[in-house]
Chains A and B, each alone.
Chain A
Amino acid sequence: MAHFTIENLTFAYPEAGKNALQDVSLQIQEGEYLVLIGKSGSGKSTLLRHLKTALTPHGVRSGRVLFSGKPLEEAGLREQSAKIGYVMQDPDSQIVTDKVWHELAFGLESLGCDQRTMRLRVAEMASYFGIQDWFHRDVAELSGGQKQLLNLASIMAMQPEVLILDEPTSQLDPIAAADFLNTVRKINLELGTTVILSEHRLEEVFPAADRVAVLEEGRLMALDTPRGIGRRLRAEGSDMVAALPAPMRIFYGAEGGGECPLTVREGRSWLSREMEGRPVCRETPPAPLEEIPAADAAVVLKEVWFRYEKDAPDVLRGVNLQVPRGSLFAVVGGNGAGKSTMLKAICHICRPYRGKVLLEGRKVEKYRPDELFQGMLAMLPQDPKTLFVKKTVREELLEMLPGRGGEEREERVLKIAAELQVADLLAQHPYDLSGGEQQRAALAKVLLLEPKILLLDEPTKGIDSFYKKTLAEILAGLKRKGVTILLVSHDIEFCAQYADAVAMFFDGGVVTANTPGRFFAENSFYTTAANRMSRHLFPYAVTADDVIRRVCESRGEGKERIRRGERQ
């Protein structure tokens, strides 16, 4: 039986020019795992919010939503709260109370559960989610991943029939995200709870999904199994192909035969079959990272030690790093390893108690503050929201150019806004922008300082694959102008594709630095999906494009064909 039936739903926000949802019809079966994909701003959240009356936005609406065969509005607030669980994007602001145990019990308290049931359900959930160790903790002490898991657990304590998740992992690092999505999968498989999930990290959810729905500008473009969706997107030449998991991208890029692989395991065996009987040329390893003379380094860290408090453990334990001038240098590493702290030490926000930080050969503390941030150094923090203090994007940008002539200021603001594609957003409040747009506006603000050295802290967090491409183009443009870019990230796919050099940060120091080809080929876990899938044949192929090129070359196909495959 259909759990949710959406019939011809059309919706427009008040005073919006166009419809946010246009004639969407969709049936969701009981126990199904449905993934909703689409670019940001395509109406994913709006659609999901229509599945729960308490969250339905105000606006003009036609069509209807049925829940278990009855109009959704007929189910009361209590019934809907219990049966339809909804997990939102931001782990922090969803939390209501101050203690973990209280948060778990909050929904049950609101539903007026009796004490015996409440005790049992909370105990059950804490055990199922492995929360018992932090049951008595303050929520403020938890990490982002733990907070989101707590949000899920506190929803599951109400024993919902449907679980709706709106980009639940966009604020999490990849390891916490994988953990979270595995838990969602487990709930779907073990409890039979219907799952409706919107996501842009497709590597994990595609293999788990029963069906995938694609939204484009408020319309339901396609609804099919994951493989079917891949086929359709490819046939239509949609740019959504770029968001597909690496094995699927490689399969379509190389125009392979047989069934499309979804996971790395399937991808490996597909690739082995594809390459059977064909010569695999022995590859020469790509060039390692060259040692550069200190004079060519824009940023040098020598034996930098730092801790936050006198008695706290050291966060940076003798960091040594050289960032060549005019390169895009990426630092990857686990959560809480101290990557962000290293950036703060370069900015002199954190002052090391031992060691040296040199910018263009001069010690950072020798720069006057205004000298340092005018034309030398700028940093984009992890949360771009923390840069916004004004009412419109225009004011935000103007703020960066104090004491200049009015016209010149306007001109520069318009120029940078055009470069970063935020020209249409200048009149908006920064908080009304989507994640990717906020990131761009913040970057525009930072770039108005015209830094020679740009530090980026997790620039790809919470943004979809399309904006990642735009970001890469922006960074490439800056590099051409001679800007040195140092970014720290969890996003190995991004680093593999666009960085000139990658370094691994572990235990308070930089363990190794190399070119992406070398770096990821030498790792076996901490490497890209494309590399994991193809390393038995092409040890130095790191990105999906690398693999596609090698497969095409082995078939003896020409350059033109290869370029077409890479464009996919």
Chain B
Amino acid sequence: MARGLAGVHPAVGFLFFFGAAALTMFFAHPAYLLASLALACCYYFLLKGRAGLRFFFGMLAFCLLVGLINPLFSPRGERVLFTWLGGRPYTGEALFYGMTLGGMFLAVSLWFACYNQVMSGDKFTYLFGSRAPALSLVLCMALRLVPHFRGKARRIREGRRCIGKDPAGRRRGERMQAAMEILSALMSCALEDAALTADSMNSRGYGSGPRTRFPRYAAKARDGFLGGWLLVCLAGAAVCGAIGGAGTFGAELPPFGAAAALGLVFEGGFLAVPVILHGKEAWTWRILQSRI
């Protein structure tokens, strides 16, 4: 069920999210930010559906708050909207600055939320594991240990409760002691398991010579094309945006020239890729179904 960006080679996915975060963070021009925000929202809701509403509104409220609070701390600026606390000015410039900051924060966190949905841990290790095979193995073993130990700790706690050694509702010292006991039991478990896992690794030839890697993802022509398109757009957006002055993070609306407009087109072409991929797949399915 790898759909949209989740179905392409992890290198392409990583390039996209890297670019999306970079573009959003470097180009603070409201037009750029709005484009990024709009596409991030689109993609986020395509991925999460209604389940994403809670996170989205939470983040939105937080970012609006950031924007509204900023003028309270920074009194600089000429256009005073009102004064408060005995003459402290609340200025338009500071509000604008705060809103830019909030918008950027919202867009970046949405992109990261999408990243978490699309780029699972094993994709990351796949990408960067070839440089350090031992490290990537350690990483994926560690990923296994977290749920493993959480489960073990839960079972030990339940075991303690079975024999009336439940720390809840006791004095603080006793609770501390109970927690230490569980921790030490968990340590013994961990050592015991580690010895067995080491046996299992040895017995399956670990350390018997150079390792290879299971080719989980194969790069296809489509990935090359997509990667090329992303690179071109990213470069275009970077160059044109920089020339057009979209990178200035200020209290005023920066000028919006031809270069900046062209940069915006490039940025749109870059950030819209996952939404388009999703849309295209949905559309293809529709057509396929209607033919049946």
Chain A interfacial positions (CB closer than 8 Å to B): 52, 54-55, 76-78, 81-82, 86, 88, 90, 92-99, 101-102, 105-115, 118-119, 122, 138-140, 154-155, 158, 344, 347, 349, 369-370, 372-374, 378-381, 383, 385-389, 400, 431, 445-446, 449, 455
Contact = CB atoms under 8 A, between A and B. Distances in A.
B151 A114 contact: no
Contacts of B159: 381, 383, 386-387
B247 to A, nearest CB: 40
A431 B203 contact: no
Interface string B215-228: 11000000000000
Contact of A113 (B155, B164, B199, B212): B212
Contacts of A108: 212, 214
Contact of A78 (B163, B205, B216): B205
A155 B204 contact: yes
A110 B205 contact: yes
B212 A369 contact: no
B184 interface: yes
B66 to A, nearest CB: 33
B78 interface: no
Contacts of A109: 211-214
Interface string B18-34: 00000000000000000
B144 A98 contact: yes
A77 B164 contact: no
Contacts of B161: 347, 349
Contacts of A97: 137, 140-141, 144
Interface string B251-278: 0000000000000000000000000000
Given A105-B214, A386-B159, A389-B182, A374 B204 contact: no
B188 interface: yes
A386 B156 contact: yes
Given A372-B164, A431-B188, A94 B212 contact: no
B173 interface: no
B155 A446 contact: no
B185 A388 contact: yes
Given A115-B214, A389-B160, 8 more contacts: A77-B205, A88-B200, A112-B210, A383-B155, A386-B156, A387-B160, A389-B181, A431-B192
Given A370-B164, A387-B159, A445-B163, A102 B210 contact: no
Nearest to A89: B196
B215 A115 contact: yes
A94 B199 CA distance: 8
**Interface residues of B: mostly helix, strand, loop or mixed?**
helix
Interface core residue of B159, B163, B185, B210 (most chain A CB under 10 Å) = B163
A381 B141 contact: no
A557 to B, nearest CB: 48
Contacts of B155: 381, 383, 386
Contacts, number: 164
A139 B144 contact: yes
Contacts of A113: 212
A121 B199 CA distance: 23
A389 B184 contact: yes
Contacts of A370: 164
A299 to B, nearest CB: 15
Contacts of A95: 144, 197, 200
A119 B215 contact: yes
Contacts of A55: 199, 202-203
Interface residues of B, number: 49
Contacts of B121: 98
B157 to A, nearest CB: 9
B81 to A, nearest CB: 45
B148 A373 contact: no
A383 B159 CA distance: 9
Interface string B176-196: 000001101100110011001
Interface in B213-246: 213-216
Across chains A and B, which 9 residue pairs bring their CB atoms closest together, nearest first?
Answer: A373-B164, A81-B205, A386-B159, A105-B214, A98-B144, A93-B196, A379-B162, A110-B205, A107-B204
A110 B210 CA distance: 7
B49 interface: no
B208 A92 contact: no
A378 B166 CA distance: 12
Contacts of B201: 96, 106, 110
B181 A82 contact: no
B281 interface: no
B140, B200, B210: most-surrounded residue (chain A CB, <10 A): B200
B283 interface: no
13 contacts: A97-B140, A101-B214, A106-B204, A138-B144, A139-B144, A140-B148, A349-B161, A379-B162, A381-B158, A385-B189, A386-B185, A387-B162, A389-B181
A438 to B, nearest CB: 12
A369 B169 contact: yes
Nearest to B213: A109
Contacts of B203: 52, 54-55, 81, 86
A76 B205 CA distance: 10
Contacts of B65: none
B87 interface: no
A81 B203 CA distance: 6
Contacts of A155: 204
A214 B73 CA distance: 83
B205 A389 contact: no
B182 to A, nearest CB: 7
B86 interface: no
Given A140-B144, A158-B204, A389 B162 contact: no
B192 to A, nearest CB: 5
Q: Which of A88, A102, A110 has the most CB of B within 10 A?
A: A110
B207 interface: yes
A97 B214 CA distance: 13
A445 B159 CA distance: 12
A431 B186 CA distance: 12
A337 to B, nearest CB: 19
B202 A54 contact: yes
A381 B158 CA distance: 8
Q: Kindly name the residue among A95, A109, A380 whose own CB sees the greatest number of chain B CB atoms within 10 A.
A: A109
Contacts of B209: 78, 111-112
A108 B204 CA distance: 8
Nearest to A105: B214
A111 B203 CA distance: 11
B162 A140 contact: no
A326 to B, nearest CB: 22
A96 B211 CA distance: 15
Contacts of A101: 214, 216
B144 A82 contact: no
Contacts of A99: 122, 140
A122 B143 contact: no
A122 B214 contact: yes
